Structure 1
Amino acid sequence: MNVLGIFIVLVLLICINVPIAVALAVAAIVGLVATEGVSSLVTVALDMYDGSTKFSLIAIPMFVLAGAIMNAGGITDKLINFVASLIGFVRGGLGMVNIGVSLFFAEISGSAVADVAALGSVMIPQMKKRGYSGPLAAAITSSSASLAIIIPPSIPMIVYGVSANASIEQLFVAGLVPGLLGAAGLMGVAYGFACKYNLPKEESFNTQRVKQAFKEALPTFLLPVIILGGIFGGYVTATEAAGLAVLVSLGLGVYYGEINVKRLRQAMIEGGIQTAVVMLLVAASVLMGGFLTRAQVPQELAQSMMDMTSNKYVILFILNIFFLVIGFFLHSVAAIILVVPIVVPLIELAGIDPVHFGLIVTLNLAIGQQTPPVASVLITSCSIAKANIWDVSKVNVYFVAVLLVVLIMCTYIPAIPMFLVEYFYR
């Protein structure tokens, strides 16, 4: 059976709502049996186990758990109060507070779905009370949550780093500037909507309130200092930083006195469920990757593309379109583990820096989280806001445009994501 046949099997399974991880594994097994016989299945279980137990992947459950503990321990509330005291006086400031808190929360959880679930349940009802329409509140929350996979730490970046054999620490550094640019752009769009609909200011700027909120939130700033400072300073790896983030989150929860055994148990269950989904995808992707490699698909694709053009910016344009389309139908982790191993030989031949390309892939998939039909983050936000997905999409298109601009800038001005990488590592 040829590769096209395997792809058809995969698409058919996904169309009948078979989980993507199961569909990947089944399609790969069908391909292996068809090309190499039943004897090729002897090592399937061992291959899946080995592929999902790489040391770098331990960071995923750790960051997910840190985010869950952070929300259960009341840390999120302290962040919201602090950001609100800083920018709540601006017209439509609550929308900007939403984006600002997402920016911070992204530095702990690494997951856009975790971000929108944690913050949306708090922010969206408050925004609707203050005159924001359901679609606007959902759009702001959804688009800002996608900063979680651009700003370090990022679960998709970890998966990409393992798939492409790229430095996870350098990927994290490359995501900082694009993430900040994206946040600034989203705030600009939110302010535009606030002026258009005459949304209220929260309250006048009060220095005393800022000091009080800062004092209450000050311990939470240990988290980004440990994660980003430790990684940038070369003191810890991404995996070690993830473990430290869990310990500090637990300590902060105890310090604020808002975490108990029941909340901790719930946080661990939520973290375990999210981790299980990701790791099952990773394990299944090992089988598909093995089949594709034996079939020489990555090498043939790379050679075909290089026969068409050797200009790396043309190749990046084509790959951008490809990943944007893939993002319509696949979750970010699934897209990375299915596609990245295929295109790695191509970017190597074209002379594209794998860290630069990883940032481009991540931005594409952040946009994919906002574009139906899959749009996992957008759907979660719509569910919390009780808003129709198409009504939200009509508003969200302006926020998605910001992410597209950042994508184009990072693709064709490599210095934007890479100058910090060059400064720290090269």
Structure 2
Amino acid sequence: MTGLLMLLGLVALILINVPIGVALGVVAMVVMISTHGMDSLLSAAITMFSGATNFPLLAIPLFILAGAIMNSSSLSRRLIAFASAIFGCIKGGLAMVNIGTSLFFAEISGSAVADVAAMGSILIPAMKKKGYPKEFAAAVTSSSATLAVIIPPSIPMILYAVMADASVVQIFVAGIVPGVLGGVMMMGLAYWYATRYNYPVEEVFSWKKLKDTGKEAGWAFTLPLIILGGIFGGWVTATEGAALAVLAALFIGGVIYRELNLKHLYESMLDGGIQTAVVMLLVAASALLGHLLTELQMPQQIAAAMTSFTDNKYVVLAMLNVFFLICGLFLHSAAAIILVVPIVLPLVNAVGIDPVHFGLVVTLNLGIGQQTPPVASVLATSCSIARADMWKVTKVNLPFIGVLFFLLMMVTYVPAIPMFLVEYFYR
């Protein structure tokens, strides 16, 4: 009964536009007072502080800052020019440039919203100028940006690893194959669209241009090597890799490209601080709620109820997929991970689902949620840049969402796709 009242209270607060982090904290404190008295609040601040100071979480503001710095250094323009040299000669090549650039930028920012903001502001106007419908331009930009939460480093993956007490590095590795596979399938769909609607060829292929743009973007290619090479090689942790990414971004942007000044640095730090504050408020409030749920043993009760219904892990995965897809309609990915993962984790462990495998399932589900209204944070950003109606864009975006859903089914029921590299390198 207490759990149901907590859920209803949380939903009610969210519906009246109370920030989710604040709503979590309010619900937790009200239940603490009603069950343990006012004295229980004495430990609330310590619980929130401890939850928000988990060392792996430090990677989140660092990756956000690295992405913001590199975006200030015209990284987006250089990557787009290089991708155009590769894909521009193909029919509908500018759509493939969009997808290919998102694949690369995902390896730096770890944020789908940051990907849309950085790439969409350049590519959407360019696609509209070349005759692509603005709805298609917005749909391609939005759906391909979701690959940023699948390909490492990924902020939702870091949050999941902390909530599930799983290995950040192994979850990063598990995302490589699904991320690349998703990008290839989206390129295939974009080519089908281009053939059907006669979208233009961007340019004639030129080895000279490929060489020149590759040379200009060469230093940008070192960032994934520094970040992912160091992490996967075991030389640094994910948090230390994020710190190296910031140092590399400062060096490349300020010394090599000479396009990073104090104003750009200030704006990058301000933007990163705001994004980090939002996430960390959620983490702190969820730590308080999670501590309360553990005391009341609600996750264990839910797990027992579910396993009494079925202990088949594939049936459980199907039910959790539906649950997370519904959550994605109404919650941002960070909020959904922080709020829901600690509750369902005992069930996941009880039926023998690998936490790393489940991390990819959760990440993909919530990535789809970024594309499905009413919340659809990534889609909303893309529509804002394109100045297009969200529902018209959603209609065009449905086949791309279908690609993400097909990828989710593959990851869910063919565990070898995400887990092959993890098993090979770490187990």
TM-score after normalising by structure 1 = 0.99
Matched, 1:119 2:119: yes
Secondary structure of 1:43 counterpart: helix
Distance 2:341 2:174 in 1: 18
Matched, 1:156 2:178: no
1:402 aligned residue: 403
> Matches of residues 185-264 of structure 1 in structure 2 within 5 Å?
185-254=185-254, 255-264=256-265
Letter in 2 for 1:11: V
Q: Is the 8 A contact 1:164 1:354 kept in 2?
A: yes
Q: Is the 8 A contact 1:6 1:30 kept in 2?
A: no
Distance 2:97 2:89 in 1: 10
1:280 aligned residue: 281
- 1:88-124 C-alpha deviation (Å, 9 max, x unpaired): 1001111110111110110011111111111111110
- 1:44-65 C-alpha deviation (Å, 9 max, x unpaired): 1111111001110000000000
Secondary structure of 2:398 counterpart: helix
Matched, 1:24 2:24: yes
Letter in 2 for 1:258: E
1:189 deviation in Å? Answer: 1.2
1:3 deviation in Å? Answer: 1.3
Using the TM superposition, name which of 133-142 and 184-193 deviates more. Answer: 184-193
Q: Is the 8 A contact 1:302 1:346 kept in 2?
A: yes
> Matches of residues 287-306 of structure 1 in structure 2 within 5 Å?
287-306=288-307
2:386 aligned residue: 385
Distance 2:230 2:87 in 1: 29
User: Identity over the aligned pairs, expressed in percent?
Assistant: 62
Distance 1:277 1:259 in 2: 26
2:364 aligned residue: 363
Distance 2:172 2:27 in 1: 33
Q: Is the 8 A contact 1:232 1:424 kept in 2?
A: no
2:340 aligned residue: 339
- 1:329-375 C-alpha deviation (Å, 9 max, x unpaired): 00001000100001111111101100000010000000000000000
Q: Is the 8 A contact 1:95 1:137 kept in 2?
A: yes
Aligned residues: 426
Distance 2:102 2:35 in 1: 47
> Matches of residues 42-53 of structure 1 in structure 2 within 5 Å?
42-53=42-53
Instruction: Name segments (4+ residues, structure 1) moved above 4 Å.
Output: none
1:214 deviation in Å? Answer: 0.7
Distance 2:409 2:65 in 1: 33
Unaligned runs of 5+ in 2: none
2:180 aligned residue: 180
Distance 1:283 1:95 in 2: 40
Letter in 2 for 1:351: G
Alpha-carbon RMSD:
0.8
- 1:389-409 C-alpha deviation (Å, 9 max, x unpaired): 000000010000000001000
Q: Is the 8 A contact 1:75 1:252 kept in 2?
A: no
1:128 aligned residue: 128
Distance 2:17 2:43 in 1: 27
Secondary structure of 2:217 counterpart: helix
Distance 1:2 1:52 in 2: 26
Using the TM superposition, name which of 62-71 and 225-234 deviates more. Answer: 225-234
Letter in 2 for 1:209: K
Letter in 1 for 2:111: S
Distance 1:168 1:366 in 2: 18
Distance 2:407 2:144 in 1: 14
Using the TM superposition, name which of 260-269 and 383-392 deviates more. Answer: 260-269
Secondary structure of 2:175 counterpart: helix
Distance 1:99 1:269 in 2: 28
Distance 2:134 2:25 in 1: 39
> Matches of residues 37-186 of structure 1 in structure 2 within 5 Å?
37-186=37-186
